Amino acid sequence: MHAPRNTAIEPFAIEHATVATGDADGRTLSDTTILVDGLGKIREIGPSSNVVVPPGYHELDGTGKVVSPA
pLDDT tens per residue across span 24-57? 999 999 999 999 999 999 999 999 999 999 999 9
Tell me which architecture the domain covering 1-56 has in CATH.
Answer: Roll (2.30)
Give CA angle at 41 (39, 31), nearest 5°.
130
Integer CA distances (angstroms), 34 to 2, 17, 28, 30, 56, in order: 33, 8, 14, 12, 15
Q: What is residue 54's DSSP assignment?
A: P
- The whole-number pLDDT of residue 1 equals 59
Please tell me which residue, 2 or 15, carries the higher pLDDT value.
Answer: 15
C-beta separation of 63 from 32 below 8 A: no
Pairing of strands 28-36, 58-61: unpaired
Pairing of strands 42-47, 58-61: unpaired
Please tell me which residue, 70 or 55, carries the higher pLDDT value.
Answer: 55
